[in-house]
Amino acid sequence: MPRDTPAEPRQQKQLPMATPDRPVMGARCNGCGDCCVQEVCGLGIEVLGESAQAPCPLLRQHDGRFWCGVIEEAERVDVAFAGHMKWRLGIGNGCFTGGA
């Protein structure tokens, strides 16, 4: 998920595992993980600090896709809070990365 501040020019980084192809922008998120591999989002920066570097260390892999570890932990503790975090991240709004 992108930070509010301008990012470095986007460079393709290696995914740590075989993943689904990134869908087109606006399509349902398939957990390809590319967004979090390329950049640590604002939530990740809040948790890890400004020095956090992509791929996001909070990214988790299971069930054939990637997941946000912050959301998973929040869901264990407080479902309403997790829902707020999902809203913040735009989860459910489709892929925002502009994949082709």
Stretch that binds ligand SF4, among 2-10, 55-63, 72-80 (CB under 6 A): 55-63
Angstrom distance (rounded) from CA 71 to CA 9: 27
Chain positions 2 to 21 lying near ligand SF4, rule: CB under 6 A, are: none
Helix (H) or strand (E) holding 67: strand 65-68
Chain positions 57 to 86 lying near ligand SF4, rule: CB under 6 A, are: 58-59, 68-70
**Least distance CB 96 / ligand SF4 (angstroms):** 6
Stretch that binds ligand SF4, among 9-17, 23-31, 76-84 (CB under 6 A): 23-31
Q: For the chain, how big is the Rg over CA atoms in Å?
A: 13
CB-CB contact of 36 with 20 (8 Å): no
Angle among Cα 68, 53, 13 to the nearest 5 degrees reads 85
Residues forming the site for ligand SF4 (CB under 6 A): 1, 22-23, 29-36, 40-41, 43-44, 56, 58-59, 68-70, 89, 95-97
